[in-house]
């Protein structure tokens, strides 16, 4: 593989990646989308960008995001989401409940799966729904 930004995996290769492996990729995809959102909103200071990024990518915010998109998922997407939700990570951050972390992992698993399937339009559709909730999350920060 030489294009690490746009990996090309067939269905068999994608099927061999664990839910936590997909979540690992999805975590990065979700964070880069969040950073892009904030920069394009006109955030200027590094401190402000970091604080708002952390607020939007933490497990409690991703739990909220998952609740927003769950009704919009196709059957295949819902299966991937459930697979991620049922994954068994070794540790859970102190700031997150078990349920929040399970849903955050599920969201990241879905985003990783969509990214590796090159479904960029679908990622943007789901992220647009999620980002509509950001002003409320950031107001509570």
Q: pLDDT tens for residues 20-42?
A: 999 999 999 999 999 999 999 88
Q: Are the C-beta atoms of residues 97 and 119 closer than 8 Å to each other?
A: no
| pLDDT above 90: percentage of residues in the chain | 74
pLDDT digits (tens, 9 = 90+) for 46-90: 888 999 999 999 999 999 999 999 999 999 999 999 999 998 876
pLDDT, residue 50, reads: 92
Tokens at 16, concatenated: 């061999």
The whole-angstrom distance between residue 59's C-alpha and the CA centroid of its chain comes to 10
Residue 109 has pLDDT above 70, yes or no: yes
Residue 92 has pLDDT above 80, yes or no: no
Residue 93 has pLDDT above 90, yes or no: no
Q: pTM of the prediction? A: 0.93
Indicate the fold that domain 11-140 takes in CATH: Ribonuclease iii, N-terminal Endonuclease Domain; Chain A (1.10.1520)
Q: Which are the contacts of 59, defined by CB distance < 8 A and separation ≥ 6? A: 93, 95, 96, 100, 101, 103, 104
Tokens at 66, concatenated: 């998952």
Residue with tokens 């991620």: 84
Just list the catalytic residues: 27
Q: Where are the domains of the chain?
A: 11-140
């Amino acid at each position: 593989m030489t294009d690490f930004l746009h990996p090309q995996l067939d269905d068999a290769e994608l099927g061999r990646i664990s839910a936590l492996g997909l979540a690992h990729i999805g975590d990065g995809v979700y964070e880069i989308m969040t950073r892009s959102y904030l920069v394009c909103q006109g955030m200027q200071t590094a401190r402000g960008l970091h604080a708002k990024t952390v607020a939007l990518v933490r497990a409690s915010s991703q739990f909220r995001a998952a609740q927003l998109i769950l009704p919009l998922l196709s059957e295949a997407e819902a299966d991937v989401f459930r697979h991620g939700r049922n994954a068994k990570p070794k540790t859970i951050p102190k700031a997150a409940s078990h349920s929040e972390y399970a849903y955050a992992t599920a969201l990241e698993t879905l985003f990783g799966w969509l990214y590796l399937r090159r479904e960029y339009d679908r990622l943007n559709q789901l992220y647009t729904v999620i980002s509509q909730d950001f002003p409320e999350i950031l107001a509570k920060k």
